[in-house]
Amino acid sequence: MIGIALRMLIGDKLKFFALIVGLTFASMMIAQQASIFTGYALRAGAWVRDTAQADLWVMDPQVEVTIDLKRMTDTQLQRVRGIDGVAWAVPMFVGGLNARLPDGTIQTIRLVGLDDGTLTGGPPQIVRGELADLRQDRAVFIDQRDIDRLLAPRRDPSAPKLDIGSRLDLNDNEVRVSGIYSKTPEFFWEPTIYTTYSLAQRIAPPERKMLQYVLVKLAPDADAQAVAASIRESTGMAVYTGPEFARISTWYVLIQTGILINFGITIALGFVIGALVSGLLLWTFVNENARAFAALKAMGTTNGRVAMMVVIQALLAGIIGFGLGVGIAAATGLSVGTGGDLAFQMVWQVPVVAGTAILICCVSAALISLIRVLNLEPATVFK
Protein backbone atom coordinates (compact mmCIF):
# COMPACT_ATOMS: atom_id res chain seq x y z
CA MET A 1 0.00 0.00 0.00
CA ILE A 2 2.86 2.35 0.71
CA GLY A 3 4.25 1.78 -2.79
CA ILE A 4 0.86 2.50 -4.33
CA ALA A 5 0.55 5.71 -2.28
CA LEU A 6 3.97 6.92 -3.42
CA ARG A 7 3.27 6.09 -7.08
CA MET A 8 -0.01 8.01 -6.85
CA LEU A 9 1.81 11.01 -5.36
CA ILE A 10 4.70 11.09 -7.83
CA GLY A 11 2.54 10.12 -10.79
CA ASP A 12 1.24 13.66 -11.28
CA LYS A 13 4.66 15.26 -11.65
CA LEU A 14 3.40 18.83 -12.04
CA LYS A 15 1.37 18.85 -8.81
CA PHE A 16 4.09 16.94 -6.97
CA PHE A 17 6.67 19.51 -8.08
CA ALA A 18 4.39 22.39 -7.08
CA LEU A 19 3.83 20.82 -3.65
CA ILE A 20 7.57 20.36 -3.09
CA VAL A 21 8.32 23.92 -4.21
CA GLY A 22 5.69 25.36 -1.85
CA LEU A 23 6.93 23.40 1.15
CA THR A 24 10.56 24.17 0.27
CA PHE A 25 9.85 27.90 0.16
CA ALA A 26 7.98 27.79 3.47
CA SER A 27 10.73 25.77 5.14
CA MET A 28 13.44 28.05 3.76
CA MET A 29 11.65 31.20 4.96
CA ILE A 30 11.10 29.81 8.45
CA ALA A 31 14.68 28.49 8.81
CA GLN A 32 16.35 31.55 7.27
CA GLN A 33 14.42 34.17 9.23
CA ALA A 34 14.73 32.19 12.46
CA SER A 35 18.50 31.90 11.93
CA ILE A 36 18.86 35.64 11.28
CA PHE A 37 16.73 36.36 14.34
CA THR A 38 18.95 34.05 16.41
CA GLY A 39 22.04 35.77 15.02
CA TYR A 40 20.82 39.21 16.08
CA ALA A 41 19.78 37.88 19.48
CA LEU A 42 23.23 36.36 20.10
CA ARG A 43 25.02 39.50 18.90
CA ALA A 44 23.23 41.61 21.50
CA GLY A 45 25.24 39.91 24.26
CA ALA A 46 28.39 39.17 22.28
CA TRP A 47 30.54 41.74 24.09
CA VAL A 48 29.64 40.24 27.48
CA ARG A 49 30.49 36.73 26.29
CA ASP A 50 33.80 38.00 24.92
CA THR A 51 34.61 39.36 28.39
CA ALA A 52 34.68 35.88 29.87
CA GLN A 53 37.24 36.53 32.62
CA ALA A 54 34.57 37.85 35.02
CA ASP A 55 32.25 35.61 37.03
CA LEU A 56 30.03 38.50 38.14
CA TRP A 57 29.20 41.92 36.74
CA VAL A 58 28.35 44.71 39.19
CA MET A 59 26.55 47.78 37.83
CA ASP A 60 23.97 50.45 38.55
CA PRO A 61 20.50 48.90 39.06
CA GLN A 62 19.09 50.95 36.17
CA VAL A 63 21.44 49.48 33.54
CA GLU A 64 19.35 47.57 30.99
CA VAL A 65 21.83 46.85 28.20
CA THR A 66 25.60 46.78 27.72
CA ILE A 67 25.79 50.31 26.26
CA ASP A 68 23.47 51.84 28.88
CA LEU A 69 25.86 54.35 30.47
CA LYS A 70 24.72 54.67 34.08
CA ARG A 71 27.80 54.83 36.26
CA MET A 72 28.71 54.27 39.91
CA THR A 73 31.03 56.00 42.33
CA ASP A 74 34.54 54.59 42.65
CA THR A 75 33.88 53.71 46.31
CA GLN A 76 31.68 50.81 45.17
CA LEU A 77 34.80 49.00 43.93
CA GLN A 78 36.32 48.87 47.43
CA ARG A 79 33.02 47.75 48.94
CA VAL A 80 32.80 44.89 46.47
CA ARG A 81 36.37 43.82 47.21
CA GLY A 82 35.46 43.49 50.89
CA ILE A 83 32.73 40.89 50.30
CA ASP A 84 33.43 37.32 51.38
CA GLY A 85 33.84 35.00 48.40
CA VAL A 86 35.35 37.67 46.11
CA ALA A 87 38.84 36.67 44.96
CA TRP A 88 39.39 39.96 43.14
CA ALA A 89 37.41 42.81 41.64
CA VAL A 90 38.57 45.31 39.00
CA PRO A 91 37.02 48.46 37.51
CA MET A 92 35.92 48.97 33.91
CA PHE A 93 35.12 52.25 32.18
CA VAL A 94 32.74 52.39 29.20
CA GLY A 95 31.86 55.62 27.45
CA GLY A 96 30.91 57.13 24.13
CA LEU A 97 33.32 59.61 22.51
CA ASN A 98 34.14 61.16 19.15
CA ALA A 99 37.29 60.00 17.39
CA ARG A 100 39.00 62.13 14.76
CA LEU A 101 40.98 60.08 12.23
CA PRO A 102 44.20 61.37 10.61
CA ASP A 103 42.28 62.51 7.48
CA GLY A 104 39.80 64.50 9.59
CA THR A 105 36.96 61.97 9.55
CA ILE A 106 34.93 62.04 12.79
CA GLN A 107 33.47 58.78 14.07
CA THR A 108 31.55 58.02 17.26
CA ILE A 109 33.28 55.22 19.17
CA ARG A 110 32.85 53.23 22.39
CA LEU A 111 35.85 53.58 24.66
CA VAL A 112 36.53 50.74 27.11
CA GLY A 113 38.99 51.33 29.92
CA LEU A 114 40.60 48.25 31.53
CA ASP A 115 42.18 47.94 34.95
CA ASP A 116 45.76 49.19 34.61
CA GLY A 117 47.27 46.40 36.69
CA THR A 118 45.52 43.30 35.34
CA LEU A 119 44.00 44.46 32.02
CA THR A 120 41.06 42.18 32.83
CA GLY A 121 38.21 42.34 30.33
CA GLY A 122 40.46 42.91 27.34
CA PRO A 123 39.83 41.96 23.71
CA PRO A 124 39.10 38.26 23.12
CA GLN A 125 41.62 37.73 20.32
CA ILE A 126 44.75 39.80 19.72
CA VAL A 127 45.67 39.87 16.01
CA ARG A 128 48.81 42.03 16.25
CA GLY A 129 50.68 43.14 19.31
CA GLU A 130 50.22 41.96 22.90
CA LEU A 131 47.69 42.95 25.53
CA ALA A 132 50.52 44.29 27.72
CA ASP A 133 51.15 46.92 24.99
CA LEU A 134 48.14 48.81 26.36
CA ARG A 135 50.39 49.97 29.20
CA GLN A 136 52.46 51.99 26.74
CA ASP A 137 52.05 55.76 26.70
CA ARG A 138 48.59 56.74 25.30
CA ALA A 139 48.10 53.28 23.80
CA VAL A 140 44.82 51.99 22.36
CA PHE A 141 43.67 48.79 20.62
CA ILE A 142 41.29 48.83 17.65
CA ASP A 143 39.32 46.09 15.88
CA GLN A 144 40.54 44.60 12.59
CA ARG A 145 37.16 44.88 10.83
CA ASP A 146 36.67 48.46 12.02
CA ILE A 147 39.91 49.44 10.29
CA ASP A 148 38.39 48.53 6.93
CA ARG A 149 34.91 49.87 7.65
CA LEU A 150 33.92 52.35 10.34
CA LEU A 151 37.44 53.63 11.03
CA ALA A 152 38.44 53.84 7.37
CA PRO A 153 39.31 57.31 6.01
CA ARG A 154 36.32 58.86 4.21
CA ARG A 155 37.18 62.51 3.72
CA ASP A 156 40.39 61.51 1.96
CA PRO A 157 39.99 57.95 0.57
CA SER A 158 43.62 58.00 -0.55
CA ALA A 159 44.86 58.41 3.04
CA PRO A 160 46.46 55.30 4.60
CA LYS A 161 44.33 53.14 6.86
CA LEU A 162 44.95 52.94 10.58
CA ASP A 163 47.72 50.58 11.61
CA ILE A 164 50.02 50.01 14.56
CA GLY A 165 51.76 53.32 15.18
CA SER A 166 48.93 55.42 13.70
CA ARG A 167 47.70 58.34 15.73
CA LEU A 168 44.17 59.62 16.20
CA ASP A 169 42.34 62.00 18.50
CA LEU A 170 39.84 60.88 21.12
CA ASN A 171 37.95 63.86 22.54
CA ASP A 172 40.87 66.08 21.43
CA ASN A 173 43.42 63.82 23.13
CA GLU A 174 46.02 62.22 20.89
CA VAL A 175 46.41 58.45 21.25
CA ARG A 176 48.49 55.86 19.39
CA VAL A 177 47.37 52.50 18.01
CA SER A 178 49.50 49.87 19.77
CA GLY A 179 47.56 46.72 18.90
CA ILE A 180 44.86 45.26 16.68
CA TYR A 181 42.30 42.74 17.90
CA SER A 182 39.37 40.76 16.52
CA LYS A 183 36.00 40.65 18.25
CA THR A 184 32.75 38.76 17.81
CA PRO A 185 30.38 40.86 15.66
CA GLU A 186 28.00 42.85 17.87
CA PHE A 187 24.49 44.18 17.48
CA PHE A 188 25.76 47.70 18.22
CA TRP A 189 27.88 48.98 15.39
CA GLU A 190 30.08 51.65 17.03
CA PRO A 191 33.79 50.79 16.92
CA THR A 192 35.09 49.60 20.28
CA ILE A 193 38.48 51.00 21.29
CA TYR A 194 40.30 49.58 24.32
CA THR A 195 42.70 51.44 26.58
CA THR A 196 43.61 51.52 30.28
CA TYR A 197 41.24 52.72 32.98
CA SER A 198 43.46 55.65 33.96
CA LEU A 199 43.84 56.88 30.37
CA ALA A 200 40.12 56.50 29.73
CA GLN A 201 39.40 58.70 32.75
CA ARG A 202 41.78 61.37 31.46
CA ILE A 203 40.33 61.27 27.93
CA ALA A 204 36.62 61.19 28.81
CA PRO A 205 34.80 64.34 29.94
CA PRO A 206 35.17 64.56 33.74
CA GLU A 207 32.18 63.43 35.77
CA ARG A 208 31.59 62.67 39.43
CA LYS A 209 30.87 59.03 38.56
CA MET A 210 33.27 57.34 36.14
CA LEU A 211 32.93 53.65 37.05
CA GLN A 212 30.65 51.73 34.69
CA TYR A 213 31.24 48.09 35.74
CA VAL A 214 33.03 46.14 38.43
CA LEU A 215 34.24 42.77 37.18
CA VAL A 216 34.35 40.15 39.93
CA LYS A 217 36.21 36.84 40.10
CA LEU A 218 34.90 34.41 42.69
CA ALA A 219 37.08 32.63 45.20
CA PRO A 220 37.43 28.86 44.78
CA ASP A 221 34.30 26.98 45.95
CA ALA A 222 32.37 30.25 46.37
CA ASP A 223 28.69 30.16 45.41
CA ALA A 224 27.94 32.73 42.71
CA GLN A 225 24.36 33.39 43.80
CA ALA A 226 25.30 33.76 47.47
CA VAL A 227 28.13 36.18 46.69
CA ALA A 228 25.87 38.13 44.32
CA ALA A 229 23.24 38.44 47.05
CA SER A 230 25.88 39.70 49.51
CA ILE A 231 27.10 42.32 47.02
CA ARG A 232 23.53 43.51 46.37
CA GLU A 233 22.84 43.81 50.10
CA SER A 234 26.11 45.63 50.81
CA THR A 235 26.22 48.02 47.84
CA GLY A 236 22.67 48.29 46.55
CA MET A 237 24.01 47.65 43.04
CA ALA A 238 22.76 45.14 40.47
CA VAL A 239 24.82 41.95 40.15
CA TYR A 240 24.60 39.46 37.28
CA THR A 241 26.58 36.51 36.04
CA GLY A 242 27.90 36.82 32.48
CA PRO A 243 25.09 34.71 30.93
CA GLU A 244 22.47 36.63 32.92
CA PHE A 245 23.79 40.01 31.77
CA ALA A 246 23.98 38.80 28.16
CA ARG A 247 20.39 37.54 28.39
CA ILE A 248 19.15 40.84 29.86
CA SER A 249 20.85 42.79 27.07
CA THR A 250 19.39 40.44 24.46
CA TRP A 251 15.83 40.80 25.70
CA TYR A 252 16.18 44.58 25.92
CA VAL A 253 17.27 44.74 22.29
CA LEU A 254 14.58 42.34 21.09
CA ILE A 255 11.76 44.13 22.87
CA GLN A 256 12.81 47.76 22.43
CA THR A 257 13.78 47.52 18.75
CA GLY A 258 10.77 45.45 17.62
CA ILE A 259 13.00 42.74 16.11
CA LEU A 260 11.03 40.04 17.92
CA ILE A 261 7.72 41.19 16.40
CA ASN A 262 9.13 41.75 12.90
CA PHE A 263 10.83 38.40 12.61
CA GLY A 264 7.90 36.69 14.33
CA ILE A 265 5.56 37.99 11.63
CA THR A 266 7.87 36.77 8.87
CA ILE A 267 8.24 33.32 10.43
CA ALA A 268 4.48 33.09 10.91
CA LEU A 269 4.00 34.11 7.28
CA GLY A 270 6.23 31.24 6.17
CA PHE A 271 4.15 28.86 8.27
CA VAL A 272 0.89 30.16 6.79
CA ILE A 273 2.25 29.88 3.24
CA GLY A 274 3.32 26.30 3.89
CA ALA A 275 -0.05 25.39 5.39
CA LEU A 276 -2.03 26.96 2.57
CA VAL A 277 0.10 25.55 -0.23
CA SER A 278 0.27 22.03 1.17
CA GLY A 279 -3.39 22.06 2.15
CA LEU A 280 -4.63 23.30 -1.20
CA LEU A 281 -2.46 20.98 -3.29
CA LEU A 282 -3.16 17.91 -1.17
CA TRP A 283 -6.89 18.64 -1.27
CA THR A 284 -6.72 18.97 -5.05
CA PHE A 285 -4.64 15.81 -5.28
CA VAL A 286 -7.13 13.80 -3.22
CA ASN A 287 -10.08 15.12 -5.22
CA GLU A 288 -8.45 14.16 -8.50
CA ASN A 289 -7.63 10.70 -7.17
CA ALA A 290 -11.01 10.14 -5.57
CA ARG A 291 -11.85 7.33 -7.99
CA ALA A 292 -8.56 5.56 -7.18
CA PHE A 293 -9.22 5.74 -3.44
CA ALA A 294 -12.80 4.59 -3.99
CA ALA A 295 -11.54 1.62 -6.00
CA LEU A 296 -9.21 0.67 -3.18
CA LYS A 297 -12.07 0.84 -0.70
CA ALA A 298 -14.23 -1.25 -3.05
CA MET A 299 -11.52 -3.91 -3.03
CA GLY A 300 -11.65 -4.10 0.76
CA THR A 301 -9.08 -1.53 1.85
CA THR A 302 -10.07 -0.15 5.26
CA ASN A 303 -10.40 3.53 6.09
CA GLY A 304 -7.35 3.20 8.33
CA ARG A 305 -5.13 2.03 5.50
CA VAL A 306 -6.44 4.71 3.16
CA ALA A 307 -5.78 7.32 5.85
CA MET A 308 -2.25 5.93 6.28
CA MET A 309 -1.66 6.33 2.53
CA VAL A 310 -2.69 10.01 2.60
CA VAL A 311 -0.55 10.73 5.67
CA ILE A 312 2.48 9.01 4.08
CA GLN A 313 2.04 11.10 0.94
CA ALA A 314 1.91 14.30 3.00
CA LEU A 315 4.92 13.31 5.12
CA LEU A 316 7.05 12.39 2.10
CA ALA A 317 6.37 15.76 0.50
CA GLY A 318 7.06 17.47 3.82
CA ILE A 319 10.38 15.67 4.37
CA ILE A 320 11.62 16.53 0.89
CA GLY A 321 10.47 20.15 1.16
CA PHE A 322 11.96 20.52 4.65
CA GLY A 323 15.33 19.10 3.60
CA LEU A 324 15.58 21.31 0.54
CA GLY A 325 14.38 24.42 2.37
CA VAL A 326 16.74 24.11 5.34
CA GLY A 327 19.62 23.24 3.02
CA ILE A 328 19.03 26.32 0.86
CA ALA A 329 18.68 28.53 3.95
CA ALA A 330 21.94 27.21 5.41
CA ALA A 331 23.82 27.58 2.11
CA THR A 332 22.64 31.15 1.50
CA GLY A 333 23.25 32.15 5.11
CA LEU A 334 26.78 30.80 5.16
CA SER A 335 27.67 32.33 1.79
CA VAL A 336 26.28 35.78 2.58
CA GLY A 337 27.16 35.81 6.26
CA THR A 338 30.76 34.58 6.02
CA GLY A 339 32.17 38.09 6.40
CA GLY A 340 30.02 38.89 9.41
CA ASP A 341 27.70 41.30 7.56
CA LEU A 342 24.66 39.06 7.98
CA ALA A 343 23.67 38.04 11.50
CA PHE A 344 23.06 34.39 10.60
CA GLN A 345 23.30 31.69 13.24
CA MET A 346 21.58 28.35 12.59
CA VAL A 347 21.60 26.69 16.00
CA TRP A 348 20.13 23.21 16.33
CA GLN A 349 16.80 24.60 17.56
CA VAL A 350 16.17 26.30 14.19
CA PRO A 351 15.85 23.08 12.10
CA VAL A 352 13.72 21.63 14.89
CA VAL A 353 11.35 24.61 14.75
CA ALA A 354 11.25 24.54 10.94
CA GLY A 355 10.70 20.78 10.87
CA THR A 356 7.92 21.00 13.46
CA ALA A 357 6.21 23.77 11.51
CA ILE A 358 6.37 21.84 8.24
CA LEU A 359 5.17 18.69 10.01
CA ILE A 360 2.18 20.58 11.39
CA CYS A 361 1.44 21.97 7.92
CA CYS A 362 1.54 18.52 6.30
CA VAL A 363 -0.40 16.74 9.00
CA SER A 364 -3.05 19.46 9.03
CA ALA A 365 -3.37 19.26 5.26
CA ALA A 366 -3.55 15.47 5.43
CA LEU A 367 -6.30 15.58 8.07
CA ILE A 368 -8.33 18.03 6.00
CA SER A 369 -7.91 15.84 2.93
CA LEU A 370 -8.94 12.76 4.93
CA ILE A 371 -12.40 14.21 5.40
CA ARG A 372 -12.95 13.74 1.68
CA VAL A 373 -11.29 10.31 1.56
CA LEU A 374 -13.13 8.80 4.54
CA ASN A 375 -16.48 9.98 3.21
CA LEU A 376 -15.93 8.35 -0.18
CA GLU A 377 -18.40 5.66 -1.14
CA PRO A 378 -16.86 2.60 -2.88
CA ALA A 379 -19.65 2.83 -5.45
CA THR A 380 -18.09 6.07 -6.71
CA VAL A 381 -15.79 4.05 -8.89
CA PHE A 382 -18.75 2.65 -10.86
CA LYS A 383 -20.36 6.04 -11.55
Mean pLDDT for 73-92 is 92
Q: Which amino acid does the sequence have at 270?
A: G
Q: How confident is the model at residue 221 (pLDDT cuts 50, 70, 90)?
A: confident
In the chain, domain spans: 2-44+258-382, 73-236
DSSP assignment string, 77-134: HHHHHTSTTEEEEEEEEEEEEEEE-TTS-EEEEEEEEE-TTT-TT--SEEEES-GGGG
Query: Is a pLDDT exceeding 80 seen at residue 274?
Result: no
Residue 72 pLDDT grade (very low, low, confident, very high; cuts 50, 70, 90): very high
- What per-residue confidence (pLDDT) applies to 337? 59
High-pLDDT (> 70) share of the chain, %: 87
The candidate with the shortest Cα–Cα distance to 183, out of 46, 330, 301, 81, is: 46
How confident is the model at residue 132, as a pLDDT?
92
What gap in Å lies between CA 260 and CA 267, rounded to an integer? 10
Contact of 138 with 199, CB cutoff 8 Å: yes
Average pLDDT over residues 338-363: 79
pLDDT of residue 51: 85
For residue 57, the model assigns a pLDDT of 94
Q: Is 169 exposed, middle or buried (0-12, 13-18, 19+ CB in 10 A)?
A: middle
**Comparing 42-46, 101-105, 228-232, 334-338, which segment has the lowest mean pLDDT?**
334-338
| Dihedral angle sign, alpha carbons of residues 344, 347, 348, 350 | negative
Tell me, what DSSP letter sits at residue 342? S
Q: What is the reported pTM?
A: 0.80
Which of the two residues, 60 and 346, has the higher pLDDT score? 60
Q: How far apart are CA 297 and CA 289, in angstroms?
A: 13
Q: What is the pLDDT of residues 131-155, one digit of tens each?
A: 999 999 999 999 998 888 888 888 8
* pLDDT average, residue stretch 325-350: 78
Instruction: Decide which of 15 and 203 is more confident.
Output: 203
C-beta separation of 145 from 181 below 8 A = no
